Structures are given as structure tokens and as C-alpha cells.
Structure 1
Amino acid sequence: MRVLVADDQELFRSGFAMILDAHEDIVVVGEAADGREAVEKAVALDPDLVLMDIRMPGVDGVAATAQICRRTSAKVLVLTMYDIDAYVYDALRAGASGFLLKDVRRDDLVRAVRLVMAGESLLAPSVTRRLIQDALSRGTPRAALRRELDKLTERELDTLRQVARGHSNAEIAAALVVSEHTVKSHVSNLLAKLGLRDRAQAVVFAYESGLVAAGSDEGGS
């Protein structure tokens, strides 16, 4: 896995790079000190994943995430100091596959990179609900998104609800009484039909469309 690390603080940047580079299945292909440099290096170095600080001077992590997701196939995992950071929601809408707190333990950092590269999203359900509820309170339009849901089969809708609750493929398979292979097919199909980049965007879509109720532990339509 080829990783680019972007952070304006050298100690954080070099520390994350050192931790990741110590593993045989991960290679850090570059470092960036701000968003502009992150975009340039993402385009030039073609990493599989960008570890992106969300708050940087000049071009911040949100704007850089949007450009990287638009111009490359790299996944973006954003870093933040606080789990209620409003910038996190903006980064998710820009295409980020999830987020980590900057005080993450080294083992959890490595695990997070591997999970995102395996197609999972890193969105704690409780944090996601707070972020989405805040967005909805500001009047996020929903009618057009509700119509998009008509493209999905009932099984795909069930799968999307489970994804929105932060469940893994194994957990979804158990809940829907199907194989993990079937779950992967449903996820792939619903992403394609809705024009979404990955599971993180599917979570945002599920809340914004009203398929899952913000602030509800069980979700629902």
C-alpha cells in the first residue's frame, strides 16, 4: 500500500510516516506540509491512500481532499484533533473515507490504513450521527436524494442502512442472513447506482436522504 502523509506539523508528519513505513505491506511514498503540496504529490506519486491533516494553512485538508478525490483514485483518511470538528463533515462530503483523531495509537493507525484500503470506512456511528444531525439542522436538501433511493432494490436499501450504522461486511451478512460475498456485491451495486465513491459517502448519503434518522440508534426510514 502506497501512502502519502500530509500534515503541516513536522513532528506529526514524520511520526506517522515512520510508524507506517515500519510495516512490510505499507510504503510511505512522500510527505506534504500543506494542502497544495498534498494535491501536487498525490497527482505525481499516485498513492493508494493519503493521510490528511484536516486543518492546515493555505489550502486546508478539506479543499485538498476534494481535489485529490476528483483528480486521483487515492483514498483519503483525514486526521483531526477533535471528533466533533465541523471540518470532518466537510471532508466526508468531499470524498474522505473516514477520519482518525491525531492522538491515535500506532497500532490503530496501521489498522485504520489497512481497513480503508480493504474498502471499509472509519466512521464511529455516534460521531457520524452528531455530524449529520448538525448538517441537517442547517437545512440540507433531501427531496432529490430521496428520489435517488428509488434506484435501489429492497436488499440494497437494507444494506445501505446497515452500512450507515457503521457495520462491517461480516456484521451485515449476519444481520441480513446472506454471505459476505453477497454483501460486497450489494455495496458495490448501490455505490455505482448512487454515484458514490465509497462507504463513507454512502453513510453521509443515508443520513442526508433520510433513509437513516440522525440521532437514532436504530436508524430507519
Structure 2
Amino acid sequence: MLYITRNKKCTLEKSEIIKMYEEGERTAEIARRANGSKVMKYDLMNLHGMTSDKSNALQIPKIPEKYLSHFVRGYFDGDGNVNYEGYTVTFVGNSLGFLLSLKSVFDLRGFTTKLKLVRNHYRLFIVSRLSLKMFADWIYREKEKYLERKYSEFEKESLEDTELINKISMAKTILEKKKNFLELYSHCIDVNKACNGIGIDLKTLDIWLRNDLEFEDQFNLIKKMVRDFT
């Protein structure tokens, strides 16, 4: 159980209090459900930083660095979601201030993040395969209590960080070559010359056209523009 102050025994777990607060419950109601104490209400508001203006005022509490990953893991288990096939972790909340402070924590660790307003709530995303691997390594590095079904999603990753970095680097190189090919082809309108210009063969071009629909669309658009012009 959680003891707040003045030897008042709280009848709610700390996680229950935080969840009620984030869901918009009034501070007075939290205190009433905890033990019906007016002193509790005072303590929640003045000693523990809870306020009725949660949308703007709520921030991540000051947590020692060694405990921060445990805090985020608990928050993720409660209000987070992972779609590993889509390489996305999502946090949903009504407090912009809290999600902005959480985003700062992630940005400092090099995760790729996005924050969006969706209807009447906010969504904080961690995106990219490498960022998800880094996030999982961080929150589970000294795991004790955690939600097994969410943890198992990250276990789908088979590559180490260095392998992922190499794979991403290779993907960026290929993307750059595709852009260069389209630019060359738009000028010379000759597939062989464009392939030679970026150092690939026709077989590689055929693979790109079969496996990359966006590249195929751009290639066909150039061909159509040439036909229409001539």
C-alpha cells in the first residue's frame, strides 16, 4: 500500500491513483476513494503535484535516471501499444504536457518519434525498426515486472542493433540509387544508359519495378509523359 503523509494509509495502490488521475478523475474523488480524507486531497494537490489543470500542467515526475526505464515500462504496459510488424509503439493520452515530456525522454535517447492530435486526445509514436529495438532494449534491460504479451512482441526482432543499422544504411543507399535512376532516365529516356549511369544491371531494375510499387509508378509516369510529349 502507499502511505502519502501524516500516517494516513491509502487504500489504493500508487498505480491506481496515477491511472485515475490520467483518466481525468477529480482530485477530490481520488482522495475520497482512497480513504475519504480531506488531508489526502491536500497532500495530492500540494505535496505530490496533482492539479485540476492536467492537460497542460501534467509532466513526468522527477525520477532518478536508474529508475526511469522502469517508470516508462510501467506506463507502456498500462497505456502503450506495440505493432511490431508496423514498427510502431504508440502512447495515447489527454495530457499534451505529459506526452511532450515523454517525447523529450525518447528524443534524448535517439528514438524516432512523432506526436499527433487525434480527435480529442494525443498520440505519441515511436517509429522505425531500429527505434523499436532501442526502446525495447532500454525498458527491458533490468526488467522485473512486465506484461508478457507486450514483451513477446519485441522478441520478434531477430537482428542486433549493428545489423539493423547496416540494413537501414543499405536501404538508404538503394533509395538514393532509385532517385538517381529516375532523374537520369527522365533526361535520357534510355533504360540501359540510366542503369549504366548508376551502376546497376537490367535484372536489378526489374527487381525494383516488381517489388517497389511507388518506384514503378514514378517510372511509368515518366514513360507516359514522354509518350504524351512526343
> Could you say which TM-score interval applies, normalised by the shorter chain?
under 0.3
Q: Give me the TM-score of the superposition, normalised by structure 2.
A: 0.24
Larger Rg: 2
Relative contact order (C-alpha < 8 Å, sep 6+): which is higher? 1
Q: Give me the TM-score of the superposition, normalised by structure 1.
A: 0.25
